[in-house]
Amino acid sequence: MKLNICCIPGDGIGPEIVKEAKKVLNKVAEKYGHEMNFTDILMGGASIDVHGVPLTDEAIATAKASDAVLMGSIGGDTNTSPWYKLEPSLRPEAGLLKIRKSLNLFANLRPAVLYPQLSGACPLKEEISAKGFDMLIMRELTGGLYFGERKTIEENGMLKAIDTLTYTEEEIRRIAIKGFEIARKRRQKVTSVDKANVLDSSRLWRKVVNEVAKDYPDVALEHMLVDNCAMQLVKDPAQFDVILTENMFGDILSDEASMVTGSIGMLSSASLNDSKFGLYEPSHGSAPDIAGKDIANPIATVLSAAMMLRFTFDLDEEATAIEKAVEAVLDKNYRTCDIMSAGCTQVGCSQMGDLLTAEI
Ligand code: IPM
Ligand code: MG
């Protein structure tokens, strides 16, 4: 099979971790007889430095022309980087929002799994972590507050900032369908998270999710308010299978869920549109403080590449080979510094890539 993959190394540790993911993918290609063509584009700060904007139309066209996009991470230190002196629409994050919207990537899948080998890293009490957990946050990614109209005006000598939160029935329905479809392949449970006791957009969310649920009688549905969900994630994370939620709630809850695993350097994500096309990226950020030191954990990016093989290319065997390689390296007690514990062997980013490649 011929795979045309657009890569976004991005900023901070992005280039290092994407390099290791390519290494692993090339080994997969060699072993299973595929042809992988990688085309790099600039996004975020890397693009600002060259083009003055976080994402050019040419870069979007290259991404659109490929089968899938594999991304590292974008952004810098918001306190010190000159990128954050630019107006908001020219900052690194604007590039990410633009590519999501341009490619219609409305469904964001963020798994949060407690790996048994890493359960010691889980910050929760042992009586809670002992149960293990394996949830998937399905976040709506191209609507809501992050894409509504916004402005700052002056009214009676006072500055006033306005952000608007809108959702159409259709935007809710298509993400709900994705949520129920994926729950069907997992443990058949959807927890839909909203703030229906206050927000109109949440009341519409709940109504549409209830309608969609009628087509999935095999999937159990519950509704949960977002503030309660934030508590439940630390109290009893094992109760969750698929968490279905809107853009901002999903942004916040997915960070919380990844922290609860204790190993954010292990968590992958996929952003999908209505076809097989997707953008795959680690759930963690660009970690500018450790960039260029060869100590970052490339596993989240490598696992994102596995998600890409599975969702975009239907290459289940190859995806499983990557996931098994990760387990094997963990079983042999190799760890990057973020997941290091006593008795294990600490390795750097490129060495971790080599170890994973050797297991394929
Ligand atoms: C994420 C990030 C982005 C988001 C930022 C960088 C715009 O936090 O992918 O979760 O909020 O979506
Ligand atoms: Mg976020």
Q: How many residues does the chain have?
A: 360
Supply the pLDDT for residue 120.
86
Q: Characterize the bridge pairing of strands 134-140 and 107-113.
A: antiparallel
| Average pLDDT of the chain to the nearest whole number | 97
Q: Which of 115, 146, 167, 216 is catalytic?
A: 146
Same fold, 1-103+277-360 and 116-273: yes
Q: Nearest residue CA, atom 2 of ligand 1?
A: 251
Ligand 1 pocket, residue 20 CB under 6 Å: no
| pLDDT at 17 exceeding the cut of 90 | yes
The arithmetic mean of pLDDT across residues 215-239, rounded, is: 98
Q: Are 307 and 280 in contact (CB under 8 A)?
A: yes
Fold of the domain built from segment(s) 116-273: Isopropylmalate Dehydrogenase (3.40.718)
Supply the pLDDT for residue 46.
98
Q: Which residue has tokens 């954990």?
A: 297
Supply the pLDDT for residue 82.
97
Q: Nearest residue CA, atom 6 of ligand 1?
A: 93
The three-class DSSP label of residue 15 is helix
Query: How sure is the predictor about 205, in pLDDT bands with cuts at 50, 70 and 90?
Result: very high
Query: How sure is the predictor about 119, in pLDDT bands with cuts at 50, 70 and 90?
Result: confident
Ligand 1 pocket, residue 134 CB under 6 Å: no
Tens of pLDDT along 140-186? 999 999 999 999 999 999 999 999 999 999 999 999 999 999 999 99
Please state which of the four CATH numbers 3.40.718.10, 3.40.50.1860, 3.10.20.30, 3.20.20.60 is assigned to the domain occupying 1-103+277-360: 3.40.718.10
For the chain, counts of helices (H) and of strands (E): 12, 14
Chain centre to alpha carbon of residue 301 = 10
> What atom in ligand 1 is closest to the CA of residue 97?
7
Supply the pLDDT for residue 156.
97
Active site residue 146: yes
Active site residue 332: no
Q: Which of 74, 251, 252, 280 to mutate to test the pocket of ligand 1 (most atoms within 8 A of CB)?
A: 251
| pLDDT at 80 exceeding the cut of 90 | yes
Q: Are 203 and 196 in contact (CB under 8 A)?
A: yes
| pLDDT at 263 exceeding the cut of 90 | no
Residues β-bridged to residue 138: 109, 244
Supply the pLDDT for residue 251.
95
Domain ranges of the chain: 1-103+277-360, 116-273
Q: Which of 81, 96, 253 to mutate to test the pocket of ligand 1 (most atoms within 8 A of CB)?
A: 96
> What atom in ligand 1 is closest to the CA of residue 248?
11
Ligand 1 pocket, residue 140 CB under 6 Å: no
Largest CA distance in the chain: 68
Supply the pLDDT for residue 121.
87
Supply the pLDDT for residue 162.
98
Q: Nearest residue CA, atom 11 of ligand 1?
A: 251
Supply the pLDDT for residue 187.
98
Q: Are 102 and 273 in contact (CB under 8 A)?
A: no
Tens of pLDDT along 285-322? 999 999 999 999 999 999 999 999 999 999 999 999 99
Tens of pLDDT along 38-56? 999 999 999 999 999 999 9
Supply the pLDDT for residue 262.
87
Supply the pLDDT for residue 129.
92
Please give the structure tokens belonging to residue 193.
């998270």
